[in-house]
Chain A
């Protein structure tokens, strides 16, 4: 990756942080304008506060930068429980069409899914035990379990017999496989205006299992996980909308 690309990436990635920091400092003035919401928040026992939908724009870009033969799209829905816990469901589609230096052709196209939880690391109550006004912006950590059921094709596999000076093609039949992995997530989500959100997160994924362990090494790309490394680092940059938030009214 060139220096220029890294700088552009860093600037884009830091944008929500600056906005988020600005919002934290300006939260008090918002609070005075919305006294009704403040009253509502006091001693509030409400659990469900709404849900959000997000579209990730980084996956296609990051995949392209790592290897042009990979493509991935994904979107997510999360539910706001007590402004603290955000159960999350993610759905995406990953594909790879790779021919390597040995002329082996690997093809896969399949949807993938992730379920998990984000945890708002900001305090949601003040020192008196009263709920703070939630402005829809928060940094979080979380975890996911990702899985995909996919079929992969291999073509162009050739057996070379160096000493005897001959070669022959080897046929590898298409195979169906289930792969599952775990992810740790850290990121930030910012309520930009009227419920429209921006955010990013970094994920560290650990490939845990495939339905046939002996075939694990044959995989080059796993939809939703990326290249078949033991550990993968992933990045999401999301745009979204939050439904049914009081924080939408604040904005």
Chain B
């Protein structure tokens, strides 16, 4: 599909900026997700031992 008409102007600034920060944001979110996963796992372990 070649439906590429952009009826809103995405603005080069917002597009290029996402490329610049996506790496750091990805790292932060991955770390958070990993940390939340560990917390959930520990929580489950802890509550099952009760």
**Chain A complexes with chain B:** no
Binding site for B on A (CB under 8 A): none
Binding site for A on B (CB under 8 A): none
